[in-house]
Amino acid sequence: MPEQIPDGLQPLTTFRFDAGAAKFATDDMELQIDALETRIERVVDKCKIGDQGFPVIGAILNLTHNQEELELLARGLLKVAKLVGPLDDLKKRQQVLELARENPTWFAWAFGDFNQSVDEAIEQILES
């Protein structure tokens, strides 16, 4: 929109408002708004997380509607989604090693394979 009226054009002295056209435009916009809101609601309903089905996208939309912020969040979630699986696997392995270190006797009895050492002990007894 120009900051000033271009040369050669006279300033408007009257403005004709067409209520019928405004009603048509309003009705059309309402249909578009309803369609977009319905699509968003479907996505929110399909993307619930956790045991209780928390609508996380709905909560995020309560915080912001800024497209750049939402796209940044989406990219961040994709990156994190690829990292949490390997992180969880490493943490599980770490817990097992910590358990073995804290209680090696229990760990040995619970998970040890004593077949070979028992067989060797029996052979040594028979050889004596």
Is residue 24 domain-resident?
A: yes
Has residue 33 been placed in a domain?
yes
CB 70 within 8 A of CB 59: no
| Per-residue pLDDT at 64 | 97
pLDDT per residue over 84-115, tens digit each? 999 999 999 898 888 888 887 877 777 766 66
Using one digit for the tens of pLDDT, what is the confidence trace for 67-79? 999 999 999 999 9
Within a domain: 100: no
* Residue 124 belongs to some domain of the structure: no
Residue 41 covered by a domain: yes
Whether residue 113 lies inside any domain: the answer is no
44 neighbors 58 (Cβ within 8 angstroms): yes
Question: In whole angstroms, what is the distance from residue 121 CA to residue 128 CA?
Answer: 11
Range of the domain at 25: 17-63
DSSP structural state of residue 55: -
Judge whether 125 lies within some domain: no
Query: How many folded domains does the chain comprise?
Result: 1
pLDDT value at 122 more than 60: yes
Question: Given the structure tokens 């040594």, which residue do they identify?
Answer: 124
Mean pLDDT of 49-55: 93
Q: Is residue 29 part of a domain?
A: yes
